[in-house]
Structure 1
Amino acid sequence: MENIYLLMIVALAVLAIADLVVGVSNDAVNFLNSAIGSKAISFRTIMIVASLGIFLGAVFSSGMMEVARKGIFVPEQFMFNEIMIIFMAVMITDILLLDFFNTLGMPTSTTVSIVFELLGAAVAMALIKISASETETIADLANYINSSKALMIISGILLSVVIAFSIGALVQYLSRLVFSFHYERKMKNFGAIFGGLALTAITYFIFMKGMKGTPYYDDLKGLLTGNELLIIAGSMVVWTLFSFLYSNVFKKNILALVITVGTFGLALAFAGNDLVNFIGVPMAAYHSFEAWSASGVAAEAYSMGALAKKVPTEPMLLFIAGGVMVLTLWFSKKARTVTETELGLARQDEGQEKFQPNLLSRTVVRASTRFSEGLDMILPKSTQQKINSRFEKPQNNPAIAKHDAPVFDQIRASVNLMIAGVLISIATSMKLPLSTTYVTFMVAMGTSLADRAWGRESAVYRVAGVFNVIGGWFFTAISAFFAAALMAYIIYLGGPAAIAVLIFFAIVLLVRNYITYKKRSQETKEEDRIKRSESSSIQGVIHESADNISAVANRSRKIFRDAITGLAKEDLKQLKKSKKGNDKLTSEVEELRDNIFYFIKNLDESSVGASDFYITALGYLQDMAQSLEYIGKASYKHVNNNHKKLKFNQTRDLLEVQEEIEKLLDRINETFKNRDLDNIDEILHSKQLLLERLSEKIQKQITRTRSEESSPKNTSLYFSLLMESKDFVVAVMNLMELYYREHDSSIPAPEIVSESN
């Protein structure tokens, strides 16, 4: 029997490593976003600083593991075999839940997940014990669960959401009033004070979080207790003087230093605070196994009161855990996906939105707009103008490419890090539980709102995104509770066999999610993505958009092939693939159209003609996407409704059309990919021949319909596909003619006969 529990300990150790990987992938959003979004320091520097913070935070997190041992349940009420069931159920659930959120790219709380998993598994185990007892009832559940502690943890986490958002918004609003978006000028006068305040808050936060769990804290506790205000005041003086010298004497950017130190501090806090969420349960299981093995008592009779004692964490295990977390930070692509979600919601400018608006977001935005309008009626016009002048955004630097531009400025990044650090420090000193994910995310959302990043153009999407994330947090709590309870019950019924099956099931799901995520990430390769043009001249736009035309040709070829081949084979899977590919292409073309305003604003006076070219080209791209959309939807609908299969002659004709169009798109792809734009005239010469072949096939079908065709559905579909294919070819050739004409106006274009259906 002892071998079974030893194998469970080994399994828990493996699960702990997997949990570290999926946990860090999700919580990377906590400490990377402000530095990445502001681009104050290089990405490599960000990663090095964060790695150092994570490693030190993990190594010095001794003494932070109590929540997994006795924070949620009363350990002496459970026997050793029951405790092992609880711990195994918690770890399996945690890995699957966090990986699910990582795959979606949604930040969630590892603290909330572990708390509710422990609560769910402990409640399930307690109910099993109560049902087996003749004297206990459901009212005795309170004897098993540390309800007051659990309630304090839950309420503290929920309260931190409101406080973090409110304080983040208030401080950012005041900071923007002082510094405005043109903060470089104000930093000369107020930079030393701001830097001193921010660095004091962050270093105090680092000290409170970093030292609290270390073996050295007891030696310094006497010096710290009661002297907090004196330490803060002294730090403020020292850091303000340092900031003045750093900015004015050494001519360095104090905000970059604040962001660097703040990133280190949040990484340190994350590792120190959240490491318990990943390895606390396996370590508690290991200590339980040690105590039981030394007792000589049967597993079913050994009460786990030993878990109520404080046990220090083994330094070697912390060292290994820190190493795993650092490696995950560097190599996890899912961590960057989660980071992109918050950056998308917090960015200062408009662009493609990840979330779709819903009734709640529309209601909130509409109510906020009316409140703002009411406030404008109260405030004097001069006051409004003065406030609005502080929020006037600087013009984008045309020399900086869009993808290289900061998501938000360094003032907001500094406030994000400072406020998150202060709130976590206060909670730590008051021994209040909170989620570092919730605090950092809600601070970032509060500062975004105060910074007017959520304008009328984007507010409904951003608010919907915030509600989606918060809804995901509640989903985390509910699903963690019930999933862990179910896991515990299954393990109780099935024993070791159930554990083996559940672990195998977890591995299969993790591998499947990884393959699905990787496949989805590679569906549209980087070279096949449509990119927004940032040039300010016609020739520049032609050169930059060549890759776009190449990508559209390549992707259109695949979409058209999947639609026609799927119809010929009656393959719904291939038709769905075509439909999905076209939806993505249409979305990207629409995004380019949405960015026309910014493109035109970026043009210089001598190159306004580039806007006509750009808008016309986008119109042809949209025509192509619409034709492909109709072809895909019509084909899918025909097969999905189980209509008659096309006749052999019809299928043969469509496959011939497919082959001709594929050849055309391949030539276009190679021409634009290799920048051989002088070859466009050869492509244009094939237009008339291709259109004549399509017309011939239409005439053939007219003859067949009069003499032998008997299926109205087939005839309607066939005509529609040929006509849309004809429209598609016309749109493609019009696009080629536009590029040929603008590429070299000195070369006369070949005579092109415009034709449409």
Structure 2
Amino acid sequence: MGDIYILMLVALVVLAVIDLVVGVSNDAVNFLNSAIGSKAISVKWILVIASLGVAIGAITSSGMMEVARKGIFNPSEFYFNEIMFIFMAVMITDILLLDVFNSLGMPTSTTVSIVFELLGAAVAMALIKISNSETETLSSLGKYINSEKALLIISGILLSVFIAFTVGALVQFISRLLYSFHFEKRKSYINALFGGFAITAITYFIFVKGMKGTPFYGSFKHLIEGNTLQIILYGFIGWTLLSQLLISVFKINILKFIIVIGTFSLAMAFSGNDLVNFIGVPIAAWNSYQEWSISGIPANEFPMSVLAEKVQTQPLLLFLAGLIMVITLWFSKKAKSVIETGINLSRQGDGHEKFQSNAASRTVVRGAIVFNELIIKVFPQKTLQWIDSKFQKPVINLPKDKTYELPAFDLVRASVNLFVAGILISLGTSLKLPLSTTYVTFMVAMGSSLADRAWGRESAVYRVAGVFNVIGGWFLTALSAFTVAAVFLYIIYLGELVSISILLILVLFLLGRSTVRHTRREKEKKEKKHIKRAELVTIKEVINESSDHISEVLKRSNKLFTNVVDDLSNHDLNKLSKTEKHVKKLNKELDELKEEVFYFIKSLDDTTSSIKASRFYLLVLGYLQDVTQSIEFISATSFKHVNNNHKNLKKPQIADLKLINEMLTSVFNDVENNFSKKTFDDLSKMVDNMQDLINHVSESIDKQITRIRTEESSPKNTTLYFGILLETKDLITALMSLLQLYQEFYIQENKIK
């Protein structure tokens, strides 16, 4: 019988390795965002520093392992076999849940996931025990679950959201008043004082408070306890003097120094606080197995009181876990997607927004505008003008092809994000609370963004919506973790080894599929053919670059139109649904390009040629969008018709549509080939062919009018058919206008030659 538990331990070890990889991919955002977003140092050195922090934090993290052992449930109330079932359900759920969020590029909390997974699995196991007992009722659930500790952990996590946002906003506001956006103009002693404060806060909470509970703390415990004020005071004086020395003698930018130390310390705090989320459960399982294997008692009769005792984690295990985390940090591609989300939501200035506005974000922004108007009425005008002067952003002139090198935010905000988050996380760690590093770092960054006026009128609704989406994802994490872990526990209880095997196969399958999909999405992102707005100035350059994009759009539009006609003729609802999704994706890509028109025009020189290029670019995008919107209308109305179970189109109608599709396909192919080869000599001929096609569509409309007067009996079919024909006509007209536009400008360019 012991063989099943050995297999479960092996499975838990494998799951722990996978969980470390998946978890670090999610949590790398916590300590990399500020350094990467501010471009303080190169990405390579950022990773080196973070790796050192992660490694040291892992080795010193054993004090937190008790959360997985007795933080959520009372282990003495469960037998060994039940504990192993709980741990298996938790690890399988954790991997699947975190991988889903990683694939979506959404930062979630590994702490929340592990806490609610333990809670869900333990509650499910307790309910099973209660249902099998003749004396216990639902009221007995309290003796199985450590409700007081669980509520303390959960309330601590939720409270951290409010505290982190508020403290981040307050400290950033004060820091901006101190520095404005001109750090280099401040007196060196001000920079030294700021450095002394920030570094003292980081070093005290990381190296002093964060070491509590570790095996190394006892050797210098007598030097720390009772001397807090002296340590902080002497630390502040020492770091301030050192900061002044670095600034005056070595000409070092103290903010960069703070970011380096902050990245290291935050990585260390993350590792020390969150390692329990990845290996705490497998280590608890191993300790349980060791005690049971020497007891000689059957697994279903051996109570797990041993888990309530303190057990020191082997340093070797911590070292190996840290090594896996470091390797993941360097090579995880999904981590980049999660980092991108955090940086985009906190960046200074406008640009492409990942999230769409919603009713809640619009309400919040309107409320903020009203509050701002109230502040203007209450405070003296001179005070407000002084504050506004501190938030005036400098104009940075870069060459057109170097604008992408601008940081998402400046060094002041990056420093605030790091040392405030480091303080809060380390404080939680020292109190033995599994504080969510994701919640703290994300909300500190959002609070500092708000205080720094990074959310302007152009972007506020989208940024607030993004924050709501991420926070909503956190609540979804809790609900999903609890529910899925409970379901998996019940499945494992019913089938034991068979169920575990099936669930492990499911994990491998879903992880593999997720990796393939993520790789495919990243590949599609790289292959997107966008106009390089910073490098294009003349009409000729815009024509050459945009022709590739037009060729790609027309190729996809051609395929989508054909799919709609074929799927409609076969009355195939599933295929129409898939086609509609592809059409929406194409339209979304064009919307993104149109949103960048402002930045394209802004980046060009103030010359006649660039003005013509801007007008040409704008018209090209407009005509392309007309084409795709026509296809979207045709696709949507066709799907709606079939989804509502209306009658099939009649054979003459299908025949007309297929003939139009053949003619349109021929036209699309000609245009696509000419644009891909950048040969525009046959544009007139193609325009004539399109006019013939428009005439044919008009004839089809006339035929349908005749059918209505004689034989047509379905008003829904008529509405659909007329809609498709009229929209096809608009599509061809837009395509003709696009060709005529190219013809006009192409002839002009040749004349100039």
Normalized against structure 1, the TM-score is what?
A: 0.90
Cross-structure match for 1:23: 23
- Residue 287 of structure 1 deviates from its aligned partner by 0.8
Equivalent residues in 2 for 1:201-350, closer than 5 Å? 201-208=201-208, 211-212=211-212, 214-350=214-350
Cα deviation for residue 573 of structure 1 reads: 4.0
| Secondary structure of the corresponding residue to residue 393 of structure 1 | coil
Match of 2:647 among 643, 668, 671: 643
Matches within 5 A, 1:575-594: 575-594=576-595
Q: List per-residue Cα deviations over 1:688-730 (Å, max 9, x = no partner).
A: 1232144235436635864797476666655544543443344
Report SS of the residue matched to 2:680: helix
Structure 2 partner of 1:624: 627
Aligned 8 A contact 2:36 2:43 in 1: yes
Deviation at 1:437, TM superposition (A): 1.0
Whole-angstrom distance in 1 between the partners of 2:191 and 2:612: 44
Q: Distance in 2 between matches of 1:744 and 1:248?
A: 63
What corresponds to 1:123 in structure 2? Answer: 123
Report percent identity of matched pairs.
Answer: 55
Question: What letter corresponds to residue 111 of structure 1 in structure 2?
Answer: T
Measured in 2, the distance between the counterparts of 1:623 and 1:134 equals 71
Q: Which residue of 2 aligns with 1:755?
A: none
Deviation, 1:275, is 0.9
Counterparts of 1:550 and 1:410 in 2: how far apart (Å)?
Answer: 43
**Distance of 2:658 and 2:559 partners within structure 1:** 19
Q: Is 1:533 the equivalent of 2:539?
A: no
CA distance in 2, matches of 1:209, 1:543: 61
Contact 1:691 1:726 in 2 (8 A): no
User: For structure 1, which segment, 280-289 or 555-564, has the greater mean C-alpha deviation from structure 2 after superposition?
Assistant: 555-564
**Structure 2: gaps (5+ residues):** none
Matched, 1:670 2:671: no
SS in 1 for 2:63: coil
Instruction: Provide the residue aligned with 2:665 in structure 1.
Output: 659
Say if 2:406 is the partner of 1:405. Answer: yes
Change in 2 beyond 3 A, CA 1:646/1:331: farther
Deviations along 1:352-391, whole A, 9 cap, x unmatched?
A: 3333333332222222211111110111222222211221
Query: How many Å separate the matches in 2 of 1:249 and 1:520?
Result: 49
Match of 1:414 in 2: 415
The answer to whether residue 750 in structure 2 is matched with residue 747 in structure 1 is yes
Is residue 564–residue 635 contact of structure 2 (8 Å, CA) maintained in 1?
A: yes
The superposition leaves residues 225-255 of structure 1 with CA deviations (integer Å, 9 ceiling, x where unpaired) of: 2233333333333333333343343333332
Residue 65 of structure 1: how far off its partner (Å): 0.9
> Which residue of the partner structure matches residue 372 of structure 2?
372
Over 3 Å counting, the alpha-carbon distance change for 1:242 and 1:529 in structure 2 is farther
CA distance in 1, matches of 2:128, 2:575: 49
Supply the AA of the counterpart residue of 1:660.
S
Alignment of 1:690-705 (within 5 A): 690-696=690-696, 698-699=698-699, 702=702
User: 1:627–1:724: 8 Å Cα contact kept in structure 2?
Assistant: yes
1:614-647 Cα shifts (integer Å, max 9, x gaps): 3323322322222222232234334444532463
Query: Are 1:615 and 2:618 an aligned pair?
Result: yes
Amino acid at match of 2:676: E
Per-residue CA deviations over 1:188-231 (Å, capped at 9, x if unaligned) read: 56333223322222333431366345432221222222233333
The DSSP-based 3-state class of the residue aligned with 2:748 is coil
8 Å CA contact 1:553, 1:668 repeated in 2: no
What does 1:687-726 align with in structure 2 at a 5 Å threshold?
Answer: 687-696=687-696, 698-699=698-699, 702=702, 706=706, 710=712, 717=720, 720-726=723-729
Task: Say whether the 8 Å CA contact 1:551–1:669 is kept in structure 2.
Answer: no
**Is 1:13 aligned with 2:1?**
no
Q: Partners in 2 of 1:98 and 1:450 — Cα distance?
A: 31
CA distance 1:547–1:120, shift in 2 (3 Å): same
Worse overlay, 115-124 or 576-585: 576-585
Contact 2:164–2:421 at 8 Å: present in 1 too?
A: yes
2:744 counterpart of 1:734: no
- The letter of the residue matching 1:579 is E
Report the residue type matching 2:458 in the other structure.
E
How many angstroms does 1:743 deviate by? 5.5
The amino acid of 1:656's aligned partner reads E
Which amino acid in the other structure matches residue 612 of structure 1?
R
Equivalent position of 2:145 in the other structure: 145
> Using the alignment, how far apart are the partners of 2:694 and 2:711 within structure 1?
19
Asked if the contact 2:627/2:735 (under 8 Å) is kept, the reply is yes
Contact 2:64 2:432 in 1 (8 A): no
Q: Which residue of 2 aligns with 1:754?
A: none
Deviation at 1:289, TM superposition (A): 0.5
Task: Classify the secondary structure of the residue corresponding to 2:61.
Answer: coil
Shift of 1:666: 2.4
1:200 maps to what in 2?
Answer: 200
User: CA, structure 1 residues 693+482, in 2 after alignment: closer, same or farther (shift >3 Å)?
Assistant: closer
**Equivalent residue, structure 2, for 1:471:** 472
Which AA in structure 2 matches 1:463?
A: V
Distance 1:378 1:492 in 2: 64
Looking at structure 1, the residues matched to 388 and 747 of structure 2 have their Cα atoms a distance apart, in angstroms, of 47
After superposition, the C-alpha distances for 1:19-71 in whole angstroms (9 at most, x for unaligned) are: 21221121122111111211222222222222232223223323321111112
1:605 partner SS: coil
Look up the match of 1:482.
483
Cα 1:236–1:549 shift into 2, 3 Å:
farther
Greater alpha carbon shift after TM alignment, 338-347 vs 354-363: 354-363
Alignment of 1:542-581 (within 5 A): 542=543, 545-581=546-582
Contact 1:26 1:108 in 2 (8 A): yes
The amino acid across from 2:488 in the alignment is M
Check 1:661–1:316 CA distance in 2 against 1; reply closer, same or farther (3 A cut). Answer: farther
Offset of residue 411 of structure 1: 1.2
Q: Give the match's secondary structure for 1:181.
A: coil
- In structure 1, the gaps of 5 or more residues are 750-757
CA contact (8 A) 2:683 2:743 kept: no
Whether contact under 8 Å (1:208, 1:428) holds in the other structure is: no
Cα separation, 2, equivalents of 1:216 and 1:722: 78
- In 1, Cα distance between equivalents of 2:190 and 2:166: 24
User: More displaced, 618-627 or 707-716?
Assistant: 707-716
Q: Which residue of 1 aligns with 2:439?
A: 438
Deviation at 1:519, TM superposition (A): 4.3
- State the partner residue of 1:425: 426
687-696 or 548-557: bigger deviation: 548-557
Change in Cα spacing, 1:161 to 1:720, as seen in structure 2 (3 Å) is closer
- The CA distance in 2 between the partners of 1:42 and 1:418, in whole Å, is 20
Structure 1 residues 594 and 187: CA distance shift in structure 2, 3 A: farther
The residue number in structure 1 matching 2:160 is 160
Shift of 1:135: 3.9
Moved more, 585-594 or 527-536: 527-536
Q: Aligned-pair distance for 1:407? A: 1.5
CA RMSD of aligned residues (A): 2.8
Aligned residues: 742
Residue aligned with 2:303, SS: coil
**Partner AA of 1:653 in structure 2:** L
1:587 maps to a residue whose letter is K
Alpha-carbon distance in structure 1 between the residues aligned to 2:668 and 2:543: 23
Name the CA distance, whole Å, in 1 between partners of 2:23 and 2:214: 23
CA distance in 2, matches of 1:623, 1:333: 36
